[in-house]
Structure 1
Amino acid sequence: MHYRVTADTDNGTVKATNQDSICVFHADSVRGEIVMAIVCDGMGGLAKGELASATVIRAFEKWFHDELKHELYQLDMRVIANKWELLLKELNLKIMEYGKQYRVNLGTTFTGMLIVGSAYFAVHIGDTRLYHIDRDIVQLTEDHTVVAQKIKRGEITPDQAESDLHRNVLTQCVGASNKIVPQVLFGNADQGVYMICSDGFRHKISEQEIRNAFQKDLLSEQDAMHAQAKRMISLVKQREEHDNISVILICAE
């Protein structure tokens, strides 16, 4: 399997700072191509959301540079995923302690994916999302939100959730939850496009628009991927999205 990757982030139309943090690494290895992609959507007053998301991203960048090479000798994706979970739990405590010390509330979502060769896992907390796009668009992660719980219980429909007052209320996030229970997914990469995005990217556009924009045959080169991502971000801003906007695209073929 071969991959092309692009990433974009934008303040949006209102916010002076970008509390989203993203990272992407794409490298060759003895195990095949490696892609690590993460989107964190920070929450908190002033620059505190940015601090939370950036703290998590820096920790995973350090893990990639310092630890991944050792994991490749006896590759076990479930072991690595477990280490990601443990790292997130450590970061949760670290950010919570900072918040208590300075009497501020801050936290961040986390949706991260590691691909090695054709195998992948994803670890997820919050309402950033991982999708797979081919003939259809499929949301692979589950939102950790109040409205997602209401939908599961049959109290509201997905359409009603779009206008629900609790749409953005998270049930867990890194740094603001006493206990986090990440969703962990394992699989083999399928042809098509994997997309990780913050909620600011998807609120003003439909899944059908996303599917049409990110069909694999429209993303034959990295420049084309970047242009399509920029076009969709511009569309989101034209529709007056107030949140920060982030998207990572991984084209697999």
Structure 2
Amino acid sequence: MHKFNLIAGAFSDKGNFKDTNEDNILVKIGEDKSGDFGMFVVCDGLGGLDFGEIASNTAVVKLKKWWEEELAQIIKTKIQDEIPTMLSSVLKKINETIIEYGIQKNKKLGTTVSLIFIYGVRYYILHVGDSRIYSVKNKIEMLTEDHSYVAYKVKNNMMTQEEAKISPDRHVLMQCVGVKKEIDIFKQSGILSDKEIFVVCSDGFYNKLKEEDIKSNIINDDFDDETLQKSAKKLVQLVRSRGETDNISVILVGVKKNKIL
């Protein structure tokens, strides 16, 4: 029998040109008899000025509150399989809260949400927008789907991946949290692998990176909190050095298997 330890590093930067950082991140790790469990979230706010920051911060605060006030009872009653459904409800409430705030202020604002929850031997992903979650093992695998106009066109063979990367419409979202009453939450789940690293990031992080950049700056075989933190900072600095105009945020989540005697 095995249990998993979770190790994380995170870095968020306002980037080269923006006055404020409209990204918000959340890193939470706990422990019980089954090993470590955790929730890792990147939210990229939209709306300009400080409104994007308000939207992304609202999402992070509400998710943090759920972790602190409701999760203990969920684990105690052993209904972990219901976590995706419960988190979907939280995201829908966040959507309503941001919409109501926008109506009060006569402003359009919203946020992407990319969330991975890890418990036992499984991970659960909930996602809206164009932030992303990757898995890094022997290869890099994108675990989320972009809710963007160009991603829709690529999926329907109306545009190539190469054309999408340079399209002036590449930042146009078809979905985010806080704009429309109904949100279609992308969900994914899977089994953890030893020495797997999850990359949770905003679009400002991946815009100017190639897969080789990520793999060459992350050590899969022997990592700890310090090495993942250094990797996160190094990758953000690399993106910034390439002239990225957006905010840049990343969380690296490492999974290590420990034997239980």
Q: TM-score range by the shorter chain?
A: over 0.9
- Paired positions, count: 252
Aligned-partner SS, 1:35 = strand
| 2:133 is aligned with 1:130 | yes
Amino acid at match of 1:60: L
Aligned-partner SS, 2:166 = coil
Which residue is equivalent to 2:57?
Answer: 54
> What is the 5 A alignment of 1:28-107?
28-107=31-110
Give the conservation status (yes or no) of the 8 Å contact 1:45–1:105: no
| 2:225 is aligned with 1:215 | no
Unaligned runs of 5+ in 1: none
Aligned-partner SS, 1:241 = coil
Q: Distance in 2 between matches of 1:104 and 1:78?
A: 37
Instruction: Please provide the CA RMSD for this pair.
Output: 1.2
TM-score under structure 2 normalisation?
0.93
Which residue is equivalent to 1:162?
Answer: 165
Superposed displacement of residue 185, structure 1? 1.0
Give the conservation status (yes or no) of the 8 Å contact 2:9–2:230: no
Which residue is equivalent to 1:202?
Answer: 206
Unaligned runs of 5+ in 2: 257-261
Aligned-partner SS, 1:114 = strand
Aligned-partner SS, 1:28 = strand
Shift of the 75–119 alpha-carbon distance from structure 1 to 2, 3 Å rule, reads: farther
Superposed displacement of residue 30, structure 1? 2.8
Q: Distance in 2 between matches of 1:41 and 1:87?
A: 17
1:179-204 superposed Cα distances (whole Å, 9 cap, x missing partner): 10101111121231011000000111
Corresponding residue to 2:155 among 152, 156, 179: 152
1:101-138 superposed Cα distances (whole Å, 9 cap, x missing partner): 21111000001111112222110000010100011000
Identity %: 36
Superposed displacement of residue 32, structure 1? 1.8
Which residue is equivalent to 2:240?
Answer: 237
Consecutive aligned runs of 4 or more in structure 1 exceeding 2 Å deviation = 73-78
Deviates more, 1:71-80 or 1:96-105: 71-80
1:3-44 superposed Cα distances (whole Å, 9 cap, x missing partner): 211111001001111000001011211332111100000001
